[in-house]
Amino acid sequence: LFEADVGGKLTFCNRGVFGLLNKTNSSHENITMASQLVSPKEQLRFSTIMKKLGNDLVPVAGDFIAAGDPADPRTFHLSLAPIIRDGVFSGIRGILIDITENRRYQEKLQQMIEEKDILFRELHHRVKNNMQIVSSMLQLQEEYITDEVVLSALHDCEQRIDSMALVHETLYRTESLAGIPFGDYLENLAIAVTEGFATVRDIRTEIDVGNIRLSLDTAVTIGLIINELMVNSMKYAFVDRPSGLITIHLTCDDGGCIMRYSDDGVGLPPGFDIEKISSLGMRLVRILAKQIRGQLVIDSEQGAGMMCTVTFPKQAGDL
């Protein structure tokens, strides 16, 4: 606790002030706030709040590095208030609170957070690289396969691995690890899937997910579902057609999330039942929807395309 005149020269201070300044004597004579309370590199900022106090006659506050031993810098919180006597600004009353240990603890926490962020990014980068190695091995194996059924199965497996690797790639490149920007991920996934079908060129994709961020687990699951649906559309929906449209919408609120996928292709065959389908891709869609406790609905009319809706609760980390 201290008091000073309007020029900033101390007229009173208790022992706590001397302790903060590492001064052994207990005299406040010749001590000024600007030169002996505040570190030289904080002078400009200190001068700014002093001007505000003098001009507006209102309390001001801030955190500053104390003057003293530069080898052991101390940080204090400074609160200043004008002393008004008979309507005239006649001095300053201040309180110093030593927050050095608190500041050091905050800096240590920030350093730990940054180190954790780096480690997580490196982890996702390595997972992505390992998945790409597996995908490359499958590509090499395809060169020795002549059976079209086996070749198609390997290609589908490769596509699924690439879909999961893309999630880790997106998380590695995003500025924040607090969820995956799902719109960015879907844009890249759509490009990867359509490019994987060289014979189908004029297929447009419309994606509307806003700024939704999904947790890693949810993003992988929904990404795999969309991957399977897109592959199914590319293989079967646009047969003998020069063009087509795939739309993907995702909305989330406090009640949960809804993913809607549709194409304007030939539609599903009559009597289609997702519970009885034998193809691995559509079985995966059903299994993955259950994995996130989602409700799966598939609607289709012959010649009018297909729509798939997955309604699922928000998971921890979904924003």
Quick check: do 2-98 and 105-312 share a fold?
no
The pTM (predicted TM-score) of the whole model is 0.60
In percent, the amount of the chain with pLDDT more than 70 equals: 85
Instruction: Answer yes or no: are the C-beta atoms of 124 and 168 closer than 8 Å.
Output: yes
pLDDT in tens, 225-283: 998 898 888 888 888 788 889 999 999 988 899 999 999 888 887 777 777 777 788 88
**Mean pLDDT computed over every residue of the chain:** 82
- Domain parsing of the chain, residue ranges: 2-98, 105-312
Chosen CATH of 2-98 out of 1.10.10.10, 3.30.450.20, 3.10.100.10, 3.40.190.10: 3.30.450.20
Rounded CA separation 189/222 (Å): 12
Higher pLDDT, 91 or 13: 91
What pLDDT shows up at residue 28?
55
Domain 105-312 coded CATH 3.30.565.10: yes
List strand residue ranges (DSSP E) for the chain, in order: 2-4, 10-13, 60-65, 75-85, 88-98, 180-181, 203-208, 213-214, 244-253, 256-263, 295-300, 306-312
What are the residues whose beta carbons fall under 8 Å from the beta carbon of 52, sequence distance 6 or more? 58, 60
pLDDT in tens, 149-160: 888 888 888 888
Query: If you write DSSP's letter for every residue of 248-297 in order, what string do you get?
Result: EEEEEETTEEEEEEEE-SS-PPTT--TTT---HHHHHHHHHHHHTT-EEE
What pLDDT shows up at residue 206?
93
- Decide if pLDDT at 95 tops 70: yes
What pLDDT shows up at residue 81?
92
What pLDDT shows up at residue 201?
61
**Which of these ranges, 22-36, 124-138, 211-225, has the smallest mean pLDDT?**
22-36
